[in-house]
Amino acid sequence: MQSFSFHCHTVFSDGMNTVEEMILAAKNAGFTHLGISDHLIVPKMSDFSEKIDSYRQHVQHIRSASDRFNFPVYVGFETDYFPQDGWGEALRMFKETVKADYLLTGNHFVSGEDGEYYPILKFPWQEISAKEANKIISKHFQNISQAVRSGLFDFLAHPDFIRWSSPCGETDFVAERMDIIEALSETHLPVELNTKGLRKIGDFYPANWMLKEIAKRKIPLLISDDAHDITDVGSHFDLAEKRLSETGNVVRIDLATKINNALQKKSA
Ligand SMILES: [Zn+2]
Ligand SMILES: [Zn+2]
């Protein structure tokens, strides 16, 4: 069974537990290492600068907790992708400045007809026409493809999270979701099998048909618990392993190797 996760949250963003409590939970779950990935949501480029101090402190806090618990912890951030000129470069600079180890792109917003961004879970889907909803969801998936192709991220989180709250069902928007898979295949960007979907909609993210396409293309994959509290740590990894063995030929990845190699290169 996979004994790590690179996707979890603390009270720094929308998690329920502290860094220390999450590390302890990972140790208790038999993990060998952990990646903590609180949210980084920056729709306006000017918002990067005001976040720097608190994010840098958070990174240092995790590093010192990792030392105190004598347990390897990597620091990442889960980032929505906002495509505007210069945004990617600003994100790269931000990551360097706060000294984070990795970035995952997890997308929780849709862009409305008015060009504003709205959280998917609070979007008034009932109040708009089916045609309008289709346009918004299609654009959301295209945005994820763009995020994958941007080269900014270390893996893709929950590609079809939007199923949680929108008219998008398991087998809708196939062309758009296939394009995300094509983008992953072109860029060799890893993707996660997210067990939070099981807790929210009774199914993994991504849907099973997507997982099969991912396996066919040998796209590297890791299991994520997307833990928001200590009871979520390692949650449903047994079912995730079962799903992966049923799928067959899934290429697995542990980001630790990549991160450690990058760190070694830097210090050399
Ligand atoms: Zn997320
Ligand atoms: Zn998350």
Per-residue pLDDT tens listing for the chain (268 residues): 999 999 999 999 999 999 999 999 999 999 999 999 999 999 988 899 999 999 999 999 999 999 999 999 999 999 999 988 899 999 999 999 999 999 999 999 999 888 899 999 999 999 999 999 999 999 999 999 999 999 999 999 999 999 999 999 999 999 999 999 999 999 999 999 999 999 999 999 999 999 999 999 999 999 999 999 999 999 999 999 999 999 999 999 999 999 999 888 888 7
**Ligand sitting nearest the alpha carbon of 107:** 1
**Ligand sitting nearest the alpha carbon of 6:** 2
259, two tokens: 């991160």
Provide the pLDDT for residue 115: 86
Distance from Cα 182 to the centre of ligand 2, integer Å: 23
**Ligand sitting nearest the alpha carbon of 8:** 2
Provide the pLDDT for residue 177: 98
Distance (Å, whole) CA 227 – CA 181: 25
Cα→Cα distances 28→4, 22, 24, 38, 193, Å: 12, 10, 6, 21, 22
Half-sphere exposure of 231 (CA within 13 A, CB side): 2
Distance from Cα 102 to the centre of ligand 1, integer Å: 15
Cα→Cα distances 223→4, 106, 132, 234, 250, Å: 8, 14, 34, 9, 11
- Walk me through the domains of the chain, giving residue ranges and CATH numbers: 4-267 (3.20.20.140)
**Ligand sitting nearest the alpha carbon of 224:** 2
Distance (Å, whole) CA 122 – CA 140: 15
Provide the pLDDT for residue 30: 98
Distance from Cα 78 to the centre of ligand 1, integer Å: 7
Distance from Cα 227 to the centre of ligand 2, integer Å: 7
Q: Decide: pTM greater than 0.85.
A: yes
Distance (Å, whole) CA 122 – CA 116: 13
**Ligand sitting nearest the alpha carbon of 76:** 2
Residue with tokens 């796209």: 219
